[in-house]
């Protein structure tokens, strides 16, 4: 396939936009080459500026669970836009989406809408600190919760040390309140809690990780985390920006059978428009302004276009819960196909999967945390990514990202994907 116009557009973009992109992973730095510029999309397919058709396995990084340009979502946005795009005042549709979301998700009473997953996680951590009166948080290496200062922290020299900033602009003062644990290692969490007794407000986690590839928590780990937080008076915060309304109507809480104290949402809840949200029981949410002392605000929060898209999307999912089983079956079918081809190719690999999330890692050992994910062979991944792209398959341009399937994908599309892999020289 030729991508001449995409390359020309990227060269032009770099003159005016840092790195030529508005989110770093889009720049193809991890895989090399120039990014693909999209012109339009429909169902399971992307159409780029060179008029290539690509089978899409990122679904805008998760939101488009029913496929691109889904009719009910598009129509809802069009009709709402005719009435105005933003008011800075309350609208009925905010309550309608809130009511539906609360009815679908276990263990929440109230929800506050914001404009992104980053904003949701940042606000939820502030709420947890305000509610508990404690300053420190625990996060996990490899889990991404947006680009707020508190989350851009790397490991110290040991399990009980403070983290240190891994981005210029993040102060050491901010970093000292963020403690870093190891995913799927409950003992690393216990060590941090013991070393910081009575000082930890919340543990924030992707309940099924998607930013080091798809990594599934063990029962021992996720149940142990819930028990530890309950025992120590620590709020368990699920970052369900990726998993919310994707792994089931009730998200990861429902799929894993674990109740979190605060839950963050994004992606699917906005139907493809910029949106985020955080939710909890009334006791915790009542600490938010204007009802309580924890301040959080946003001019465009509850934007009517985003609310319309989200309401249409969640209505579809609520009325047709079989979509989650359909997606899980398609993902399992893709897993089986990729597995059969990769076995024939004789390269070391691991495939991780949960629901409609899946990732391929070119390594001999199981991928259970950030360190094991980082040991994957990136040169093999680059060949894999570009080989699939040349055959019309668009995968995440990073070895550290989950695929997100959409239900517009057909079994014929998946067969075409597996056939494409057979042509790739690894």
Q: Active-site positions?
A: 144, 239, 267
Residue 65 has, within 13 A of its CA and on its CB side, a CA count of 37
CB 151 within 8 A of CB 178: yes
Q: Is residue 105 packed enough to be buried (19+ CB in 10 Å), middle (13-18) or exposed (0-12)?
A: buried
- Dihedral angle computed from the Cα positions of residues 300, 301, 304 and 310, in that order, rounded to the nearest 10 degrees: 130
Antiparallel, parallel or unpaired: β 45-48 and 38-42: antiparallel
- Other C-beta atoms closer than 10 Å to the C-beta of 369 total 22
Q: Say how far residue 315 (Cα) sits from the centre of its chain.
A: 21
* Neighbour-count burial of 298, counting CB atoms closer than 10 A to its CB (0-12 exposed, 13-18 middle, 19+ buried): middle
Sole residue written with tokens 């089931």: 248
Going 366 to 370 to 371 to 377, the CA torsion angle's sign is: positive
Q: In degrees rounded to 5, what are phi and psi of residue 402? A: -75, 150
Pull the structure tokens for residue 95: 């309550």
d(CA 391, CA 426): 14
Residue 194: DSSP 8-state? H
| φ/ψ (deg, to 5) at 150 | -60, -20
Question: Phi/psi at 122 (nearest 5 deg)?
Answer: -60, -45
């Amino acid at each position: 396939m030729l991508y001449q116009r995409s390359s020309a557009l990227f060269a032009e973009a770099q003159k005016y936009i840092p790195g030529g992109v508005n989110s770093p992973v889009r720049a193809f730095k991890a895989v090399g080459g120039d990014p693909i510029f999209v012109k339009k999309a429909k169902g399971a397919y992307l159409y780029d500026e060179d008029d290539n058709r690509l089978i899409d396995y990122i679904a805008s990084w998760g939101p488009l669970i029913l496929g691109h340009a889904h009719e009910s979502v598009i129509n809802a946005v069009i009709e709402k836009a005719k009435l105005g795009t933003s008011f800075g005042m309350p609208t009925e549709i905010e309550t309608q989406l809130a009511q539906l979301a609360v009815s679908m998700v276990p263990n929440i009473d109230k929800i506050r809408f914001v404009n992104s997953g980053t904003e949701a996680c940042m606000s939820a951590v502030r709420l947890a600190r305000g509610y508990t009166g404690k300053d420190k948080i625990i996060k996990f290496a490899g889990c991404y919760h947006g680009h707020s200062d508190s989350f851009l922290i790397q490991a110290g020299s040991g399990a009980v040390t403070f983290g240190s900033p891994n981005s210029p602009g993040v102060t050491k003062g901010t970093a000292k309140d963020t403690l870093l644990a190891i995913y799927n290692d409950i003992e690393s969490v216990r060590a941090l809690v013991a070393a910081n007794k009575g000082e930890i407000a919340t543990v924030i986690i992707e309940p099924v990780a998607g930013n080091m590839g798809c990594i599934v928590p063990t029962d021992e780990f996720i149940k142990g985390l819930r028990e530890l937080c309950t025992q120590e008076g620590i709020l368990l915060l699920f970052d369900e920006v990726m998993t919310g309304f994707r792994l089931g109507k009730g998200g990861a809480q429902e799929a894993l059978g674990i109740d979190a104290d605060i839950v963050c949402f994004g992606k699917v809840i906005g139907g493809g428009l910029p949106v985020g949200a955080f939710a909890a029981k009334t006791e915790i949410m009542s600490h938010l302004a204007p009802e309580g002392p924890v301040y959080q605000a946003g001019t465009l929060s509850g934007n009517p276009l985003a609310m319309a898209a989200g309401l249409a999307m969640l209505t579809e999912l609520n009325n047709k819960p079989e979509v989650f089983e359909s997606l899980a079956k398609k993902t399992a079918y893709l897993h089986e196909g990729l597995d059969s081809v990769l076995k024939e190719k004789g390269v070391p690999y691991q495939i991780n999967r949960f629901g409609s999330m899946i990732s391929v890692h070119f390594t001999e050992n199981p991928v259970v945390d950030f360190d094991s994910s980082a040991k994957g062979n990136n040169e093999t991944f680059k060949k894999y990514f570009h080989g699939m792209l040349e055959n019309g398959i668009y995968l995440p341009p990073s070895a550290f990202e989950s695929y997100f399937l959409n239900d517009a994908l057909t079994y014929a599309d998946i067969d075409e994907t597996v056939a494409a892999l057979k042509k790739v020289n690894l």
